[in-house]
Amino acid sequence: MPAPTPTQVRVAVVESTVLGLSCALTFWLVSDVLTRLYVDSRDSDLLGGMWAALATIFVSRATFRESLTAGLSRMSATLISFVICLVYLVFLPFHLWAFALLIGVSSLVGLLIGRRGDATTAAITTAVVLVVATISPLDPWQQPILRLADTVIGVIVGVATAWLSLRLIHPHLR
């Protein structure tokens, strides 16, 4: 593989810096600003910040269209998990059998609605929501709502950052 050109290095440094800064913004918004709207543990606030930053990373793609598509994919998977976890956690606490069942159901729903690529992400989201619901001092049913909010913020920042950075760095890519 040939060595990158100086222009390729410059673009890679700028893209990586923009991604890091957008993740810092997302993390701060969720772990410090959004938390003023509800009372939760600092650990859960930090997890929310991380979850939002992961959504920002998830939507960071080579073109704005790819980033937008990834954002829609991330939201689709999160909504699948949100509904399944919220319905379950309103009535029942965490159990290992439910963990396995709900991960499977999340994946199944993604597959049945024709969103194969979202099935895995929905299953991952369900696993995180169920575990966080178990360790959080809040009522467990609140966790799907909080993780949905984290994801929405992460996706919005990620797509907005992709739009801005692609306009500045790669005006020819749309």
- Number of compact structural domains in the chain: 1
Is 90 within the bounds of a domain? Answer: yes
SS3 for 17-35 is: HHHHHHHHHHHHHHHHHHH
Is 1 within the bounds of a domain? Answer: no
pLDDT in tens, 43-54: 778 888 999 999
pLDDT at residue number 2: 87
- What band does 174 get if pLDDT is binned at 50, 70 and 90? low
| Whether the model pTM is above 0.75 | yes
Is 62 within the bounds of a domain? Answer: yes
pLDDT at residue number 10: 86
pLDDT > 60? residue 173? no
Is 42 within the bounds of a domain? Answer: yes
Is 174 within the bounds of a domain? Answer: no
Which range marks the domain in which residue 122 is found? 6-169
pLDDT > 80? residue 167? no
Is 124 within the bounds of a domain? Answer: yes
